[in-house]
Each structure stands twice: as structure tokens, then as C-alpha cells.
Amino acid sequence: MIAAIAALLGCQLAGEVLVRALGLPVPGPVAGMGILFLALAWRGRTRDAADAVPPAIGEVADALLRNLSLLFIPAAVGVVQYLGLLRAYAAPLALAIVVSTLAAMIVTVLTFRLVARLHAFRRKGLAGDVEAALDPEHHP
């Protein structure tokens, strides 16, 4: 169990070092998760799929996920601490949230439609004809 915790923390530390050394614009823990993912994916290629994640790491990850709500307490305290500031900027914040949510939904729909069209063209053997796939008038 200690070795599994050390492995998870080691991936997070490696992510922090990588981000700071290369000046990457992502948080260190996110890079650490990427490193962990790559390590587990590599391990999965060399072993049976059921053995890709060591049982100890799986147990530690399950324990962290069971207690995930505890990790939101600092964020909630920060919201309460800056409630006056949030109240002062409530309208611009609400507008930004609504606009960004709508933009994300529109981009998601357009991306899905594009991928669905490309997939349909691939099934019909027209994968090389990207211009036709992008033309809304042309149906596969």
C-alpha cells in the first residue's frame, strides 16, 4: 500500500518537475496523471489487460475516489471567504458561465457532426475525400 501511494506521489512529483523544467502551461498534477496513464498503458501492452493496473494502486485509487468529496472542502471555504467579491461580480460571472457553456455545447455538436460524417465516409470507402465529407450538401 505504501509503495502504491509512493508511486502515485512519484508520478505527481515527476509531473511537477516536467512542467517546471519545460515551462508547460498545465498544472503539475495533470502532467503527473498523464505520466501515470502512459506508464499504465505501457504496462498494459506488455501484460494481460486484467493485470495492467497493479492491485495496490487500484486499492489506493479506490480509497481516494471514495473520499474525493473531502478534496472540495478547501474550494468551498474559498468561495465562502470571497462571497462578497462573488456577489459584486455575480452578473458578469453568470454571463461568462452561460456563454462559455453554450459555446462548449455548440463546439461539441459541431465536432460530433464532423466526426460522424468522416466515420460515414470511412465506412463507405471514401475516407480520402475530406472535402466531400466537409460539404454539408454531399451525403454519403
* CA nearest to 39, candidates 57, 21, 62: 57
* CA nearest to 54, candidates 3, 13, 9: 3
Tens of pLDDT, residue by residue, the chain (140 residues): 899 999 999 999 999 999 999 999 999 999 999 999 999 888 877 777 667 788 899 899 899 999 989 988 988 998 899 999 999 999 999 999 999 999 999 999 999 998 888 888 777 765 555 666 666 666 55
Do residues 37 and 45 lie in contact, with contact meaning Cβ atoms separated by under 8 Å? no
- All three cell numbers of 68, joined, read 474525493
State the DSSP code for 9: H
pTM of the model: 0.55
Do residues 133 and 118 lie in contact, with contact meaning Cβ atoms separated by under 8 Å? yes
| Cα–Cα distance measured from residue 5 to residue 14, given in angstroms and rounded to the nearest whole number | 14
* CA nearest to 13, candidates 1, 31, 26: 31
